[in-house]
Chain A
Amino acid sequence: MNSESILVRNLRKTFKLKLRDPGVIGAMRSLIKPLHREVPAVDGVSFTVKQGEIVAFVGPNGAGKSTTIKILTGILHPSSGEVSVLGLNPQSARGTLAYKIGTVFGQKAQLWLHLPPQDSFDLFARIYAVEQVQYRARLAYLVDALKVGELLNIPVRKLSLGERMRCEIVASLLHSPRVIFLDEPTIGLDVIAKQQIREVIRRLNREEDVTIFLTSHDAGDIEALAHRTIVINHGTLVLDESTENFKKRYVQTKTVELVLDQPAKDFCFPEGEVLERGDFHLKIEFKNSAQTLERLFRYALEHFTVRDINIYEPSMEEIIATIYRERRNRAGHL
């Protein structure tokens, strides 16, 4: 890791929302004299990302994550501030930058639905002006890494969500980008598909020194991938530190919900705190450690018939509340 891949300095982006009073009169009034309200989506954000770094950019819905990514990829123009990706201004050099970056938007499909992925890959190779020899080698590498060899000739509409997402990632990486922006890449996927995608991201980062800028609501993605975590809320940056520290400080607990065949009142696990206990189900919170989780499962399976298990981590809203609480406490001590 050496030079900076991404530089963001005092970035601001406001959206202009048209206001309209209800009813016909309101509609007429807004036609004659439209009223607007400025909504800040990103408000004075600054950070840098070094080459080869994997950064998780996290926050609750509406925090400004996707807006930031769209500005970094040249899709949106910032209202003010300085942005540079691989030394280029994403807005003025969008065409040049497009060849050097890859984007995966989990909720936007880029493959042609009625055609096999192979056809879309061929098209993307042309659009990104990848030489044929280089393209074949790159495709073989990605097909092997993402295990999509058997899917290449099946129409995209017939693929499962996980299969489709793996193919979407292949399409985004064909031109060997130096920086990859991943916006919710594992949304809606099953555990195995998530693992495969994470493994490929890790591999690309390790083998090709690719910079990864990732947004995700999945704490698993952040834990498994990111060297560093940046938390954004209401358009402002609330935290920027190593993922290890972030986990230690803010993802301290896990909650397990169990549905049992036997009465839940007999369940006794001293390492955890029971948050909720019904006739046949209970919620237990305990300190986040793999060993405790293992002990809890062992105890549950040895003494009860378990019908269902759900594991929760603190939500982004809870983590942000903790960060603010911690800050208030710190300010109070000063």
Chain B
Amino acid sequence: MRDIYRLDKYRALFALTMRNERTYLLDFLGLNVVILVRIWIIAQVFRAAFRSASVETIDGLSLSNVIWMVGITQAVGALIGNVELRVSEEVQDGSIAYLLARPISYVGYHYARFLGNAAALLPISILSSSLVVWLLVGPIQISMHGALAALLVMAGGATLHFVICLLIGLLAFWFEDISAFGWIYQKLWILFGGMVLPLDIFPQQIRWVAELSPFPHLFHAAARLCVSFSTPRFMQILAVQAIWLILTGSALFLLQRRAASRLVLNGG
């Protein structure tokens, strides 16, 4: 194994990022409150929708299921790190070059930081969101299988999100401002990623197309498994995640190679 891939480097980066995130704890708690309010509003909207339609379930999902799914997806999706902004900044101010001069993988460096950020913030976010959802609609039964499968799918989804963000960030080598790409990705992910509406509620045709896209497989899939676990669904999610990871990972590999050859720095 090449020296730059030694795991202890990335473990140290992961640990340091976790410690670093603690210095922003107040900012994070403020953002967390916003998410809790958002969950409360979404819950009221769904409560009204279920009441006006006079139904107990929509496509097999009860009100409690829907709120739990949206709550978990929000808790993760709204707070997970946005790597693309940091990467595009590094490309624009030239600091990417200084990172490349170190005996460490650039992708590994950002992945360790991304995971450190998630490990520091997400447990608090998931716990507080779960508490709010529990107060709103009561507890939900989660099987051990469901929880483990959700954790695995969550890790896959987070990695997929990381790779897509990194791809968008590296576009800064070709475009002066990548915020438009980030914006489009975010909106698609909010729309089809279960941040507001679970995919189960969409019309069948849209749902079918969306199921093939990476968006519902980022964080919504994990929330769905948490709420109602089924082995075929779990396998299907893993397969789609794997396909998207191979596709986006290959794109990242190619883009990184092209980007390295375009590396032009400020200053002479």
* A associates with B: yes
Chain A residues with Cβ below 8 Å from B24 are: 114
Contact with B along A108-122 (1 / 0, CB 8 A): 101010110001101
Chain A residues with Cβ below 8 Å from B187 are: none
Q: Are A98 and B23 in contact (CB under 8 A)?
A: no
Range for the number of chain B residues in contact with chain A: 20 to 34
Known: A123-B13, A126-B8. A16 touches B102 (CB 8 A): no
Q: Is B97 an interface residue (CB 8 A)?
A: yes
A128, B267: Cα distance in complex, Å: 27
A95, B3: Cα distance in complex, Å: 8
Q: Is B104 an interface residue (CB 8 A)?
A: yes
Q: Are A75 and B265 in contact (CB under 8 A)?
A: yes
Known: A70-B97, A114-B23, A129-B6. A123 touches B16 (CB 8 A): yes
Q: Are A41 and B268 in contact (CB under 8 A)?
A: yes
A64, B6: Cα distance in complex, Å: 35
- Chain B nearest Cβ from A213, distance in angstroms: 14
Q: Are A112 and B101 in contact (CB under 8 A)?
A: no
Q: Is A203 an interface residue (CB 8 A)?
A: no
A95, B8: Cα distance in complex, Å: 17
Task: Tell me the chain A residues, 55-81 only, with Cβ under 8 Å from chain B.
Answer: 61-67, 70, 73-77
Q: Is A9 an interface residue (CB 8 A)?
A: no
Q: Are B263 and A76 in contact (CB under 8 A)?
A: yes
Q: Is A94 an interface residue (CB 8 A)?
A: yes
Chain B residues with Cβ below 8 Å from A65 are: 268
- Chain A nearest Cβ from B19, distance in angstroms: 6
- Chain A nearest Cβ from B101, distance in angstroms: 5
Output the nearest chain B residue to A103 by Cβ-Cβ distance.
B101
**Candidates B12, B98, B103; contact of A108 at CB < 8 Å:** B98
> Looking at A63, A74, A75, A76, which has the most chain B CB atoms within 10 Å of its CB?
A75
Known: A15-B264, A119-B16, A127-B9. A73 touches B95 (CB 8 A): no
Chain A residues with Cβ below 8 Å from B242 are: none
14 further interface pairs, Cβ-Cβ under 8 Å (given A64-B268, A75-B98): A16-B264, A63-B268, A70-B97, A94-B101, A95-B103, A103-B98, A112-B16, A112-B20, A119-B19, A122-B12, A123-B12, A126-B9, A127-B104, A128-B103
List residues of chain B with CB under 8 Å of any chain A CB.
2-4, 6, 8-9, 11-13, 16, 19-20, 23-24, 95, 97-98, 100-104, 261, 263-265, 267-268
Query: Can you report 27 residue pairs joining A to B where beta carbons are below 8 Å apart?
Result: A41-B268, A62-B268, A74-B101, A75-B97, A76-B97, A77-B261, A77-B263, A94-B101, A95-B2, A95-B103, A98-B103, A99-B3, A99-B103, A103-B101, A108-B95, A108-B98, A114-B23, A115-B19, A120-B16, A122-B12, A122-B16, A126-B9, A126-B12, A127-B13, A127-B104, A128-B103, A129-B9
